[in-house]
Amino acid sequence: MFVDTSVLVHARIREAPRHDEARVALGRAMQGSDMPGSEPLRISRQVMREYLAVITWPQTWPVAVSRVEALHDMLRLAPIFQVLEDGPAVTDQLAALSRVVTFRGSQVHDANIVATMLAYGERRLLTFNREDFLRYGDRIELVEL
């Protein structure tokens, strides 16, 4: 299962509106990933960069996480998740998606997440941003939180 930036951010920021829900969802997913025959939890380098960008910028919570703390967090993600690399196969998937799905501007980031998932044969996405991914229809499955 691929984990979107939104879930990681809400799990990290205590003041985030869905903090408790994110912690429970991640905890459940991590427990399930330890079972024999279960699917690994996956993120991409893009998600790691997005995480760093979002938590170091004040949002609806009062204080941003310091750059040092954020970098420490980001480095701790790699051993917890299977990190999917961005490369030619992802670029090819992004190009293929662009022929059948309309996206532009900041929507390219979500399209690249889907392209990464498809390049690695991943179909399940854990996210708080369901609406951002609905356009990808039956290509991916949005996991309910």
Domains assigned to the chain: 2-143 (3.40.50.1010)
Residue 35, pLDDT score: 56
Helix (H, G, I), strand (E, B) or coil at 104: coil
Q: Name the nearest CA neighbour of 129 among 119, 120, 140.
A: 140
For residues 9-14, give the mean pLDDT. 92
Using the Cα atoms of residue 46, residue 51, residue 53 and residue 59 in order, give the sign of their dihedral: positive
pLDDT digits (tens, 9 = 90+) for 52-103: 999 998 877 777 889 999 999 999 998 999 999 999 999 999 999 999 999 9
28 pLDDT band, cuts 50/70/90, is confident
Residue 105, pLDDT score: 96
pTM: 0.91
Q: How far apart are CA 12 and CA 51, in angstroms?
A: 10
Integer CA distances (angstroms), 109 to 25, 46, 60, 112, 119, in order: 23, 8, 21, 5, 15
Residue 81, pLDDT score: 95
pLDDT digits (tens, 9 = 90+) for 125-140: 999 999 999 999 899 9
Structure tokens at 13: 């920021």
